[in-house]
Amino acid sequence: MPENKEEIKRVIAACNEFMNTKILFINRKVQDLLEEIAKCQDVYNLISDCLNVFNRDKEYDRAFNISNLGKGTFIMPREEVKIIALVFCILGDINSGKISFDELVAKFFTDEDGRKDYSLFMTTVILPFRDLIAEAFGVTTNVTTVEDIEAMKDEVEEEIELEEENILGKPKFEIEDSEDVDRIYDSAKDIATQINEMLLNERKQTEEVLDSLFVVNSIVIACNKKDFEQFYCLVMGLKYMARPIKDIRFLVKELVDLVRAQVYSY
């Protein structure tokens, strides 16, 4: 769990303010967003991890396309780490003046009539960036002002208490019919399979990677046996074991969310 969710919420708030601002003030809002990122160590570390496996020139060439007719299109990568890194680089280039925001929109974000569509940039570029950061740290995206952030201060302590109860308390698995049970285990095996493939493709087969591979395979076995307690413990272990492996961060979170949705403390 991140140490300071209020700082993360400020980053989310800056994204929201950026998306809702008037074009006249866009450069100022880019600077505000980058400043909030710099002040939030958790988000800064996440972006740094993403940048470590990001080939800027290659991904820019893939994202910004110009047809033979001169029509520019923007294609966002599918991988979460690349989305975060690419958007951060775009923001940095706008802030430094290397890229003109107005010219960028005019060239790659236009409507059917070829007119600049600023809202298309916001929904295509900033929105997924915001949502992935919020998802990575388990915070709401519905934050728009400092007052909103202050009003949710108690949420951090409540979430810490809930996490401690889920870890220290005896888990209870409650699903009413077998179809739901099968669906949950099938979903978990699909996610575990994706994680397994990404771990096998890691350039450095570190101790963390090899241990995570063992745990992921054990998760599949637990799902096949429909042993929830074993499944629960393995997923919680993977959550902490795989922290240094940035490429699987979001998939691991999907597994954790899937498990926690079925656990009730008593």
Tens digit of each residue's pLDDT (9 = 90 or more) over 193-225: 888 888 887 777 787 888 888 888 888 888 888
Question: Does residue 164 belong to any structural domain of this protein?
Answer: no
- On whether the CB atoms of residues 246 and 53 are closer than 8 A, the answer is yes
Dihedral sign for Cα atoms in the order 242, 248, 250, 254: negative
Whether residues 147 and 173 fall in one domain = no
Q: Does residue 46 surpass a pLDDT of 50? A: yes
Whether residues 77 and 112 fall in one domain: yes
Both 141 and 224 in one domain: the answer is no
Compute the distance between CA of residue 231 and CA of residue 75 in angstroms, rounded to an integer. Answer: 37
If asked whether residues 103 and 192 sit together in one domain, one would say: no
Asked if residue 141 lies in contact with residue 130, where contact means CB atoms within 8 angstroms, the answer is yes
Task: Compute how many other C-beta atoms are within 10 angstroms of the C-beta atom of residue 184.
Answer: 20
DSSP bridge partners of 171 = 265
The angle that helices 26-39 and 101-108 make with each other, rounded to 10 degrees, is 100
Q: Are residues 95 and 137 in the same domain?
A: yes
Which CB contacts under 8 angstroms, 24+ apart, belong to 148-156?
148/9, 148/13, 149/6, 149/9, 149/10, 149/13, 152/9, 153/6, 155/5, 156/5, 156/6
Range of the structural domain that residue 96 is part of: 5-151
In a shared domain, residues 136 and 253 = no
CATH code, 235: 1.20.1440
**Same domain for 134 and 188:** no
**Which of these ranges, 87-101, 121-135, 244-258, has the smallest mean pLDDT?**
244-258
pLDDT tens digits for range 55-109 = 999 999 999 998 877 789 999 999 999 999 999 999 999 988 889 999 999 999 9
- Report residue 232's pLDDT band, with 50, 70 and 90 as the boundaries: confident
For residue 156, being part of any structural domain is answered with no
What's the domain count of the chain?
Answer: 2
Question: 206 and 232: one domain?
Answer: yes
Hunting for tokens 């888990």 — which residue is that? 171
Distance CA 215, CA 207 (A): 12
In a domain, 163, yes or no: no
Q: Is residue 30 domain-shared with residue 96, that is, in the same domain?
A: yes
Cβ-based neighbours of 160, under 8 Å, separated by 6 or more: 1
Which pair of structure tokens corresponds to residue 65? 């396309």
- Chain-centre distance for alpha carbon 210: 24
Residues 91 and 32: their CA atoms lie apart, in Å, by: 11
Q: How far apart are CA 104 and CA 72, in angstroms?
A: 10
